[in-house]
Amino acid sequence: MTSASPSTSDHFAHEALRLLGPAPANWVPAHEGVDHNVLVVGSGQTGSAFAFALQRAGIGGVSVIDAASRAAQAGVWRTRARMHKLRTPKSLVGPEGPVSALGFQAWYESRHGQEAYAAIDRIGRTDWAEYLDWFRGITGTTVRYGTRLLRFEPVVGGAVPHFRLHLEVDGVERVETARKLIFANGVAGSGAPFIPELLSPAVAQGLAAHTGHAIDFTALAGKTVAVIGGAASAFDAAAVALESGAAAVHLFARRDKIPATPVARVRGYPGFYDNYLSLPDGSRWHHASRYRRLGTTPPPDSVQRVLRFPNFHLHLGAPWQGAQVQAGQVVASVREERFHFDFVIAGTGYTHELSQRPELAEIADLVLRWRDRFQPPADERDDELGAAPYLGAGLEYIEKIPGTAPWLRDIHTYNPGGFASTGLPLGDVPSIRGYVPAVVRRISEDLLHADLALHEARTRADVPADFGEELYASAVWRPGTQRLAA
């Protein structure tokens, strides 16, 4: 089949939006002193999804910010992501929601044809990045790049509750205000990259880094590299190091086998997925802890990517017991062996400790955590899950002590810190279909009720008639009269 042109996909997308009808006018009343109804922190795939969904819900006054200085540096797909393909099925609903003409398949087929789409098993990483650029353009999503949220505090006086936001815009601090916050800010959005303490000296001396950090892989050519971790990000980092000319790469996994059981797949059907938040806490905890016990499964092609290299070495059941910096190298102690490495990459995941995020540190002690709400059986104890925030049905924070911080309900978390509550890594593509609409529904409901008196006045106001009695007067039946035919 012959490929269509990019302009064809634009035409079909614009036609789909035309048939969908114009987005509702902004129905949220303006208030003096409030700059934004919703501030979305992060412009990646979920930030883009929220911008479009809020637009279609008639919620105006939405601002999307990103700390990256320009679009090419935003998100992960052109920066920290190192896989060749996304790890999720190509058929999942993305930021387009129910408007399929705005989806990846429609975009890809317009450029490469239906046969080309049928031939790919998963979406290419750079294709996805290009699609997201197009999606933001076609939906009219404006992103304020070079803008970072430093901290915020609630303002409870005035007409409506809102937040005072301390932003850094292109290096200059400024203050703005918003009624709602959505944190769609990626894997470290509820904490920080977890780096084992034994690696801290190496990190401080530039001899180690986390997979979530920028790494100059070209500088690893000819070097001996260690990668700690057995999840997909660890394998991807090992692959890039090998492809960049590393002399040898050793990957150390604490498990005796690479995780290969995609346990989350068995609960991905609509009945379970769509109603997950209604499950008892014990059930949700079980599924989350089971997933963590079995481990994150790297795609087979991520493993095959490193196996092509004879200088790749896999160490199983091999947690590091110690590490020292000696003569510009990292000397690791592993199962009575000593290894010398020029550089170490930690694929060791992320914490959910809110106090490690500068913008969340001041509210960390106010937020309800899973450990405050649920005590698991001994065989399912997981301190990392326990530290995760216990989210409401709109993925909002809940106050730990009722009555102390009711404004927390206006902060919505859409990053992996919500995993214990939702059973999915929020921010990944599989989470978009169900949870973006859930957050938008809650925001819409909250904004309506916060201004209910204004809405009641608006909807109870006198409504002028579309026409007068003269329109139908000649047809009114009157006894003893006969209406003459025209």
pLDDT digits (tens, 9 = 90+) for 156-200: 887 899 999 999 999 999 999 999 999 999 999 999 999 999 999
* Contact criterion met (CB below 8 Å) for 398 and 363: no
Residue 314 has pLDDT above 70, yes or no: yes
Sign of the dihedral defined by the CA atoms of residues 281, 283, 288, 289, in that order: positive
Q: What's the whole-number mean pLDDT along residues 410-422?
A: 95
Q: What is the CATH number of domain 6-186+427-453?
A: 3.50.50.60
Q: Report the amino acid identity of residue 453.
A: A
CA distances from 455 to 35, 60, 62, 458, 460 (A): 20, 16, 20, 5, 8
For a pLDDT cut of 70, what percent of the chain falls above it? 97
Q: What is the pLDDT of residue 221?
A: 98
Q: What is the pLDDT of residue 5?
A: 59
Q: What's the whole-number mean pLDDT along residues 201-227?
A: 97
Q: Write out the two tokens for 446.
A: 């909250």
Q: Where do the domains of the chain lie?
A: 6-186+427-453, 197-259+295-346
Q: What is the pLDDT of residue 485?
A: 57
Least confident of 5-9, 27-31, 400-404: 5-9
Question: Does this chain's domain 6-186+427-453 share its CATH topology with 197-259+295-346?
Answer: yes
pLDDT digits (tens, 9 = 90+) for 270-309: 899 899 999 999 999 999 999 999 888 999 999 999 999 9
CA distances from 335 to 3, 112, 180, 318, 332 (A): 56, 51, 51, 7, 10
Q: What is the pLDDT of residue 482?
A: 63
Residue 3 has pLDDT above 80, yes or no: no
Higher pLDDT pick, 234 / 484: 234
Least confident of 227-241, 264-278, 299-313: 264-278
> What's the whole-number average pLDDT of the chain?
94
Q: Per-residue confidence at 1, pLDDT binned at 50, 70, 90?
A: very low
Indicate the pairing of strand 224-228 with strand 248-252: parallel
Cα 176 to chain centroid, rounded? 24
Q: Per-residue confidence at 6, pLDDT binned at 50, 70, 90?
A: low
Least confident of 75-89, 204-218, 385-399, 404-418: 75-89
Q: What's the whole-number mean pLDDT along residues 374-397?
A: 96
Residue 425 has pLDDT above 90, yes or no: no
Q: What is the pLDDT of residue 70?
A: 87
Q: What's the whole-number mean pLDDT along residues 23-33?
A: 96
Q: What's the whole-number mean pLDDT along residues 371-399?
A: 96
Residue 112 has pLDDT above 70, yes or no: yes
Nearest to 162 by CA among 324, 70, 30: 30
Q: What is the pLDDT of residue 481?
A: 67
Residue 208 has pLDDT above 60, yes or no: yes
Q: What is the pLDDT of residue 2?
A: 47
DSSP readout, 295-329?
A: -PPPPHHHHHHHHT-TTEEEESS----EEEEETTE
CATH 3.40.50.1820 fits 197-259+295-346, yes or no: no
Q: What is the pLDDT of residue 7?
A: 66
